[in-house]
């Protein structure tokens, strides 16, 4: 039995080694080659991973603190940080609650406990090949008059890098909180909501120094896939006037990095939540030309047109795009990231881990329970309620530190299956692979204007209503609607589409929910594995009522492409089902 398992493991290693998303391609320095990323062997690498929010840059909305945005006051108003809103105020709030000595130890335990070897192992086991590691500068460079490096901060980071190397997961080092703050948001761990890094020469110089220091220390750490120079710069109130300063910072910091490190890829983010492309008008790394455009994208419509402005900028600069932060619902993620992958665009979903807090925000791969008496703390943090005693506060915070460990996790496997396109998912038929369609030239669009460039007919599903474009002043809420749940795909004779499923380790049954537009219709089903194995069959569908029909049974492979071609008749497809 042991020999059989070893043979099976070797088979899977051979099967999975070819995929450009595979961890087998995590080898040697990651660098750019035109508009794609490649490893030391020149093989294309598409990053699939998570950002570890709240590890070395805590954010209150994910850990039981205050909401993401203030509930009072305007977004453009000057504001001081709220309790438990960001790393620095988490630490001061813990001091208020539990005392100075306790707070010092709490901070150390937080950074050690929040991200463990088991987290990195679990990411790798799931099939991810990368992780984005957000850090705050003040954990490495003391906020004191002299330049004082904090070795404890470097030690914590280096331990995680060792785990990444052990499990073959590229690490992207992300300066989420620069000295003084660069975003004008709570996520930059600044002293308020202003971008002091761009207004204070001392803070700016310290940001340059910290990247020099990272380059000096880590120039030979190949497991670092890239340096993310600034997270979401200039994204808060009244920041646009500092755009020239952002471009100048990149122009200044890159030569200082290249003095010590000519190997690591650099990721550069534009302003306004990393969505604005205005600054990308020249080669920021002329010596090495080893950089990419790093965007953040939440709540996207899963179609190629949403990527246009980024693709256009990528083409002009001949550099890759990386979606270094973002996410949506699981089905949208599955379709959008597959479309992005067609252009060798990888992603890091935000965020790997969060507290299972009914009053919190965000989505994640894993959740951990909040302490049993957390409502007492929340009342103090959010509402200025009575402060729990020092003893009670310490007990509650000890429970928090304990329960963030992996043994208490709840893992959302389904969300991860969708992100990675693994068996156990249902994909709307309109979410077919980018560039896979062959159409008869449908020119009339659809009710949502979804993927009209494909020329495929996408009528409303039976019983679905078109979206409401006019708001009638009756006070009634708008009807919920969307292309993924309300549209079907109509295939006519000669038309074809394909769908990709990955990481099939044993078997995967493929089915479709569909109906014919006449007595019967015939579909040619072609399943092609990454190794070149091809299985062709013909499926006949009958009846105008919607029903589920089995199309194929797939064996083990890193990737299968299931293609449907209409031989005769017309069929409407609702969902493709890939069983685990």
For residue 177, the cross-strand partners are 136
Task: Check if the beta carbon of residue 53 is closer than 8 Å to that of residue 353.
Answer: yes
The CATH fold of domain 423-578: Jelly Rolls (2.60.120)
The answer to whether 19-419 and 423-578 have equal CATH topology is no
Q: Report pLDDT digits (tens) over 192-214.
A: 999 999 999 999 999 999 999 99
Quick one: tokens of 527? 């399943």
Among 526, 501, 524, 506, which Cα is nearest to 576's?
Answer: 501
pTM of the model: 0.94
The Cα 48–Cα 67 span in angstroms is: 28
pLDDT of residue 16: 37
Q: Report pLDDT digits (tens) over 17-65.
A: 458 999 999 999 999 999 999 999 999 999 999 999 999 999 999 999 9
Q: Report pLDDT digits (tens) over 532-552.
A: 999 999 999 999 999 999 999
The Cα 410–Cα 354 span in angstroms is: 10
416 to each of 360, 411, 424, how far by Cα in Å? 21, 9, 10
pLDDT of residue 76: 63
- Over 50: is that where the pLDDT of 518 sits? yes
> Per-domain residue ranges for the chain?
19-419, 423-578
Task: Check if the beta carbon of residue 446 is closer than 8 Å to that of residue 483.
Answer: yes
Beta-strand relationship, 571-578 and 489-491? antiparallel
How many residues in total does the chain contain?
580
Chain mean pLDDT for the chain = 93
Among 533, 524, 571, 578, which Cα is nearest to 553's?
Answer: 578
Q: Could you tell me which CATH class the domain 19-419 is placed in?
A: alpha beta
Q: How far separated are the first and last CA of the chain, in Å rounded?
A: 24
């Amino acid at each position: 039995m042991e020999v059989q398992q070893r043979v099976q493991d070797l088979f899977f290693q051979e099967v999975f080694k070819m995929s450009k998303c595979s961890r087998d391609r995590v080898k040697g320095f990651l660098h750019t080659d035109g508009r794609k990323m490649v490893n030391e062997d020149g093989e294309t690498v598409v990053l699939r991973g998570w950002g570890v929010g709240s590890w070395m840059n805590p954010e209150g909305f994910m850990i039981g603190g205050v909401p993401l945005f203030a509930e009072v006051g305007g977004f453009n108003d000057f504001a001081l940080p709220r309790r438990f809103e960001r790393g620095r105020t988490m630490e001061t709030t813990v001091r208020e609650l539990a005392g100075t000595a306790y707070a010092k130890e709490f901070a150390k335990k937080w950074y050690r406990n929040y991200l463990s070897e088991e987290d990195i192992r679990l990411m790798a086991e799931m099939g991810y090949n990368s992780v984005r590691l957000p850090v705050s500068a003040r954990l490495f460079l003391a906020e004191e008059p002299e330049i004082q490096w904090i070795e404890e901060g470097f030690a914590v980071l280096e331990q995680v890098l060792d785990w990444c190397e052990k499990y073959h997961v590229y690490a992207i080092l992300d300066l989420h909180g620069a000295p003084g703050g660069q975003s004008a948001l709570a996520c930059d761990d600044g002293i308020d909501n202003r971008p002091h890094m761009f207004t204070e020469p001392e803070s700016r110089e310290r940001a340059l120094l910290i990247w020099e220091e990272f380059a000096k220390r880590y120039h030979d750490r190949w497991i670092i896939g890239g340096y993310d120079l600034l997270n979401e710069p200039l994204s808060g109130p009244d920041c646009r006037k500092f755009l020239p300063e952002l471009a100048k910072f990149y122009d200044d910091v890159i030569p200082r990095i290249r003095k010590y490190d000519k190997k690591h890829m650099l990721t550069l983010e534009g302003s306004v939540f990393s969505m604005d492309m205005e600054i990308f008008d020249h080669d920021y790394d002329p010596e090495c030309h080893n950089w990419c455009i790093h965007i953040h994208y939440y709540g996207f419509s899963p179609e190629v047109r949403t990527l246009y402005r980024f693709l256009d900028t990528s083409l002009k600069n001949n550099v890759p795009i990386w979606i270094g932060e973002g996410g949506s619902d699981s089905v949208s993620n599955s379709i959008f990231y597959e479309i992005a992958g067609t252009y060798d665009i990888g992603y890091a979903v935000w965020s790997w881990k969060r507290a299972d807090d009914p009053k919190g925000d965000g989505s994640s791969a894993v959740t951990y329970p909040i302490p049993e008496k957390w409502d007492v703390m929340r009342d103090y943090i959010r509402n200025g309620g009575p402060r729990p005693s020092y003893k009670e506060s310490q007990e509650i915070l000890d429970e928090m530190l304990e329960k963030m460990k992996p043994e208490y996790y709840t893992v959302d496997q389904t969300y991860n299956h969708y992100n990675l396109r693994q068996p156990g998912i249902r994909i709307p038929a309109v979410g077919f692979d980018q560039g896979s369609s062959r159409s008869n030239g449908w020119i009339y669009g659809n009710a949502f204007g979804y993927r009209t460039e494909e020329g495929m007919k996408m009528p409303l599903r039976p019983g679905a209503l078109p979206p409401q474009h006019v708001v009638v002043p009756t006070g009634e809420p708008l009807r919920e609607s969307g292309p993924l749940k309300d549209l079907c795909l109509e295939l006519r004779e000669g038309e074809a589409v394909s769908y990709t499923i990955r990481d099939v380790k044993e078997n995967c049954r493929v089915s479709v929910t569909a109906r014919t537009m006449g007595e019967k219709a015939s579909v040619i089903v072609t399943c092609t594995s990454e190794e070149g194995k091809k299985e062709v069959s013909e499926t006949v569908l009958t009846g105008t009522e919607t029903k589920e029909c089995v199309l194929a049974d797939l064996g083990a492979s890193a990737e299968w492409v299931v293609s449907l071609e209409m031989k005769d008749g017309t069929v409407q497809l609702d969902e493709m089902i890939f069983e685990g």
